[in-house]
Amino acid sequence: MKQQRKAVALISGGLDSMLAVKVIQEQGIHVEGINFFTGFCVEGHTHAVRKKHKDKQKRNNALWVAEQLGIKLHIVDVVEEYKDVLLNPVHGYGKNVNPCLDCKTFMVKKALEWIKEHDFDFIITGEVVGQRPMSQRRETMPVVAKDSGSNDLLVRPLSARQLPETLPELEGWLDREKLLDFHGRTRKPQMALAKQFGFEDYAQPAGGCCMLTDENYAIKLQDMWANRPSRNYELDDIIMLKMGRHFRLAPHLKIIIGREEGENRFMQGYKNQFVTIFPTSHPGALCLVDGEFKSDEERQQALALVARYSQGKNEPQVTLNIRQTDGSEQEYSIQPIAAEAVKQEWLV
């Protein structure tokens, strides 16, 4: 009896990986999905806590794709291991702080470990030759295969006929003629194939699932790195970069002011890790203090900014409490800062 071959697919939640899986399933291969949680995934986070985004679907697209395809999905927490990928990328960064080539290599390497552990035969991705400026170029796609150690066990079904034959093709597990030869930045072939497969609802067509490619996020991350003794980070640090308004008052002091109720509630969960400021005389935003006040002036600036984002912003005085992480609180009264007095250089 013919052996059932098995492949694991890197699932981002976008259209390309969805199509790649379907193309391989059509050849009778058993496919399961794998999704890596780096901490920088766009999924969820801000949508989950912000009312502004209440109309956005809160689904995890990778899970949704897996369910549409009828495959299992294994979500792997790689937050710790990923730090070295981000902090020391061999191939450098893209336009922002996106180490795409190192990232893809890392994920394929992790998938290779996974197939060895679970007795699967090969790996598939939704990569397309020429689709992305860094990791999906004709010159760099072989780098991913080589540096990850996956070599000819890595199949890109959407571009396979643009690339050298892989082991599954040479062994006859896959029919190369039924694989595709997509290339370039156009999305039309993917759209047509999606239609052919009957996929009508899918996430953003070109991926875009990583905060590290987002310019505003990159600015906040670089600010954090520039003002700390080490670039190392914890998961909480990188999640907080997505929350609230960030004001850099001094190299040793940043404050984060919640933008709405959902964020305030989420940030409240950090009250035992950060000093917090909140208005007591008026409804308003919660503020986390990242760093320390080295002068009364810095404390006054922070209080006046938090007062500005309260409903007392036009009042002569707002009363606020500063809460220490041990729960002790001290009350202050201050005049809210005027809009024109908020220094542009504070805004991160």
Binding site for other proteins (CB under 8 A): 35, 37, 41, 43-45, 47-49, 57-60, 62-64, 66-67, 70-77, 239, 265-266, 268-269
Kindly tell me which of 75 and 191 has the beta carbon lying closer to other proteins.
Answer: 75
Nearest-approach distance from CB 211 to other proteins, in angstroms: 12
Kindly tell me which of 43 and 290 has the beta carbon lying closer to other proteins.
Answer: 43
Nearest-approach distance from CB 14 to other proteins, in angstroms: 15
Instruction: Confirm if 324 and 294 have CB atoms less than 8 A apart.
Output: no
* E strand or H helix at 114: helix 100-118
* 93-99 contacts at long range (C-beta below 8 A, 24 or more positions apart): 94/133, 94/134, 94/213, 95/133, 95/213, 95/215, 96/212, 96/213, 96/214, 96/215, 96/217, 96/218, 97/212, 97/218, 97/221, 97/222, 98/134, 98/210, 98/212, 98/213, 98/218, 99/212
Nearest-approach distance from CB 77 to other proteins, in angstroms: 5
Kindly tell me which of 35 and 190 has the beta carbon lying closer to other proteins.
Answer: 35
Nearest-approach distance from CB 62 to other proteins, in angstroms: 8
335: DSSP letter? P
* 111-117 contacts at long range (C-beta below 8 A, 24 or more positions apart): 111/8, 111/10, 111/34, 111/150, 112/148, 112/149, 112/150, 112/153, 114/8, 114/34, 114/74, 114/76, 115/8, 115/153
Kindly tell me which of 144 and 209 has the beta carbon lying closer to other proteins.
Answer: 209
Nearest-approach distance from CB 207 to other proteins, in angstroms: 17
Kindly tell me which of 124 and 128 has the beta carbon lying closer to other proteins.
Answer: 124
Nearest-approach distance from CB 224 to other proteins, in angstroms: 19
Kindly tell me which of 134 and 238 has the beta carbon lying closer to other proteins.
Answer: 238
What span, in angstroms and rounded, lies between the C-alpha atoms of 101 and 118? Answer: 26
